């Protein structure tokens, strides 16, 4: 042995230790092993790195800001309201151009409501009664319009009537129109401007074509092939691409999702990162069941007459709510996921070697021979001078 004490130990730190290998000249196992190695290499290079981009760090938290603007004008003529011209300031709720907005396609107006006593609507279950005692004074009508006064109003003695209530009278009675009043909203156009950023990579982009042509955005319309950077869509087209019919949906209302997907490979050029639009109806699960179909809500416009008394117009609107959902991910080369995937690949190689070892040592004809070559036996009561062999025989000194 070389050296003494610390010096020897220190020098031995710089000895290079390498595993000893046994060469088994068995072509079958050798070919199988090379084949396994090639398969694992092909998997790592082609599947993990090229297809799944395993060398990239991925960010899925996209920051998005959406601005929308509707255009289109429509004229309606109803019995209660007469003629009315609807512009975006009327049928878009809310009007600020946000990413969630509602387009009125159908409505029921109950004008000139004032506070007072009148009969509850017969369509409210809790408002029905046969005797005065059914209407407890001061009690709120469940899912109704007012507070019960204590009297039951009915046409004649034997019929079922409804409670008299203190509420905004007359109570809303209109039957929902069968045809959507604003059915021609189908021709309205929406302009969607989407600005996104991936903060982890400091990358940001917008979906609008940079152009010097003032008139381009005023005349173009979205087309997947010819005008992919003109984010102006016709409402009827959006509903059609979602797989539904605008006129049918417009009767009771519904909910449409406009999905904007940004799938960006930031190792490529800036211009390669573009949005992909898709459309789906979001209240679809209930399209067959009538329990939760449609979309409607109510709002009221308040006025004061010359006497200073308040009166209001109650409007129940049905319509299509558009939800613009922006999602996506960006990937960029990063050393850590690369190392992790390479490391896992190397571990797989080790598993491949383990598998071939099994075949060599246990399954082929000469397995016993190779086992003896691979595993060197040691006995702890032998002297240091033993020559290693399969059965540890001693060579006696002559």
Instruction: Based on the shown chain and the rule CB under 8 A, indicate whether residue 124 belongs to the binding site for a second copy.
Output: no
In the complex, what is the shortest distance from the CB of residue 145 to a second copy, in angstroms, rounded to a whole number? 6
Q: Which of 83, 133, 225, 363 binds a second copy (CB under 8 A)?
A: 83
Q: Which of 9, 27, 56, 156 binds a second copy (CB under 8 A)?
A: 27
Stretch that binds a second copy, among 127-135, 155-163, 235-243, 372-380 (CB under 8 A): 372-380
Neighbours of 350 (CB within 10 A): 9
In the complex, what is the shortest distance from the CB of residue 385 to a second copy, in angstroms, rounded to a whole number? 7
Nearer to a second copy, 107 or 168 (CB): 168
In the complex, what is the shortest distance from the CB of residue 156 to a second copy, in angstroms, rounded to a whole number? 28
Stretch that binds a second copy, among 153-161, 234-242, 266-274, 317-325 (CB under 8 A): 317-325
Nearest to 198 by CA among 62, 391, 368, 365: 62
Stretch that binds a second copy, among 93-101, 128-136, 152-160, 239-247 (CB under 8 A): 93-101
Question: Which helix or strand (DSSP H or E) is residue 298 part of?
Answer: strand 296-304
Q: Which of 31, 41, 45, 50 binds a second copy (CB under 8 A)?
A: 31
Nearest to 319 by CA among 151, 16, 107: 107
The overall longest dimension of the chain from CA atoms, in Å, is: 135
Instruction: Return the residue matching tokens 């211009």.
Output: 271
Q: Which of 41, 45, 50, 100 binds a second copy (CB under 8 A)?
A: 100
Distance CA 341, CA 346 (A): 9
Q: Say how many residues touch a second copy, by CB under 8 A.
A: 147
In the complex, what is the shortest distance from the CB of residue 347 to a second copy, in angstroms, rounded to a whole number? 3
53 in a known ligand binding site: no
User: Using CB under 8 A as the criterion, what x/- string covers residues 274-313 for binding a second copy?
Assistant: --------xx-xx--xxxx--x-xxxxxxxxxx-------
Q: Which of 78, 123, 132, 147 binds a second copy (CB under 8 A)?
A: 147
Q: Left, alpha or beta for 99 (phi > 0: left; psi -120 to 50: alpha)? A: alpha
Question: Which helix or strand (DSSP H or E) is residue 28 part of?
Answer: helix 27-42
Q: Left, alpha or beta for 327 (phi > 0: left; psi -120 to 50: alpha)? A: beta
Distance CA 195, CA 63 (A): 8
Which residues are within 8 A (CB) of 241 and not within 5 positions of it... i.e. 6 or more apart?
278, 279
Q: Could you say which residues in the range 200-229 bind a second copy, by CB under 8 A?
A: 205-206, 208, 210-214, 216-218
Stretch that binds a second copy, among 154-162, 239-247, 266-274, 323-331 (CB under 8 A): 323-331
**Which of helix, strand or coil describes residue 98?**
coil
In the complex, what is the shortest distance from the CB of residue 158 to a second copy, in angstroms, rounded to a whole number? 26
382 beta partners: none
Q: Which of 7, 34, 268, 394 binds a second copy (CB under 8 A)?
A: 34
106 in a known ligand binding site: no
Q: Which of 177, 183, 237, 259 binds a second copy (CB under 8 A)?
A: 259
In the complex, what is the shortest distance from the CB of residue 26 to a second copy, in angstroms, rounded to a whole number? 6
Token pair belonging to 93: 């709720």
198 beta partners: 203
Which residues are within 8 A (CB) of 233 and not within 5 positions of it... i.e. 6 or more apart?
189, 190, 192, 221, 222, 258
338 in a known ligand binding site: no
In the complex, what is the shortest distance from the CB of residue 378 to a second copy, in angstroms, rounded to a whole number? 5
Q: Left, alpha or beta for 5 (phi > 0: left; psi -120 to 50: alpha)? A: left
Strands 310-333 and 254-265: parallel
**Which of helix, strand or coil describes residue 102?**
strand
Q: Could you say which residues in the range 327-366 bind a second copy, by CB under 8 A?
A: 327, 329, 336, 339-348, 350-351, 353, 356-357, 360, 366
Nearer to a second copy, 146 or 275 (CB): 146
175 in a known ligand binding site: no
Are 225 and 290 contacting, i.e. CB atoms less than 8 angstroms apart?
A: no
Annotated binding-site members: 69-71, 189, 296-298, 316
Annotated binding-site members for ATP: 69-71, 189, 296-298, 316
């Amino acid at each position: 042995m070389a050296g003494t004490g610390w010096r020897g130990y220190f020098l031995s730190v710089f000895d290079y230790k390498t595993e000893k290998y046994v060469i088994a000249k068995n072509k079958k196992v050798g070919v199988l092993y090379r084949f396994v190695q090639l398969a694992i290499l092909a998997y790592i290079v082609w599947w993990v790195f090229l297809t799944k981009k395993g060398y990239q760090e991925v960010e899925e938290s996209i920051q998005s800001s959406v601005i929308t603007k509707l255009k289109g004008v429509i004229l309606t003529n109803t019995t209660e309201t007469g003629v009315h011209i609807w512009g975006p300031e009327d049928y878009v709720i809310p009007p600020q151009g946000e990413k969630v907005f509602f387009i009125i396609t159908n409505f029921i107006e109950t004008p000139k409501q004032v506070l007072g006593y009148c009969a509850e609507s017969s369509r409210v279950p809790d408002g029905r009664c046969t005797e005065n005692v059914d209407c407890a004074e001061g009690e709120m009508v469940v899912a109704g319009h007012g507070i019960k006064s204590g009297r039951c109003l009915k046409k004649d003695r034997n019929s079922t009537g409804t409670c008299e209530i203190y509420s905004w009278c007359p109570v809303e009675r209109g039957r929902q129109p069968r045809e959507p009043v604003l059915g021609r909203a189908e021709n309205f156009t929406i302009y969607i401007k989407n600005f996104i950023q991936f903060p982890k990579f400091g990358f940001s982009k917008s979906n609008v074509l940079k152009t010097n042509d003032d008139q381009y955005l005023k005349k173009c319309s979205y087309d997947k092939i010819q005008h992919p950077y003109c984010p102006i869509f016709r409402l009827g087209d959006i509903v059609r691409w979602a797989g539904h019919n605008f006129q049918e949906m417009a009767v009771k209302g519904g909910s449409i999702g406009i999905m904007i997907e940004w799938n960006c490979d930031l190792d490529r050029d800036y211009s390669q990162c573009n949005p992909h639009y898709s459309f789906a109806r979001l209240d679809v699960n209930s399209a067959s069941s009538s329990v939760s179909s449609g979309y409607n809500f109510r709002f009221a416009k308040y006025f004061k007459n010359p006497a200073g008394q308040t009166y209001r117009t109650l409007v129940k609107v049905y319509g299509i709510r558009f939800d613009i959902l922006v999602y996506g991910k960006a990937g960029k080369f990063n050393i850590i996921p690369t190392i992790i995937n390479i490391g896992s690949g190397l571990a797989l190689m080790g598993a491949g070697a383990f598998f071939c070892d099994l075949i060599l040592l246990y399954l082929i004809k000469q397995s016993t021979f190779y086992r003896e070559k691979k595993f060197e036996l040691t006995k702890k009561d032998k002297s240091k001078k033993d020559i290693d062999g399969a059965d540890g025989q001693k060579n006696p000194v002559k």
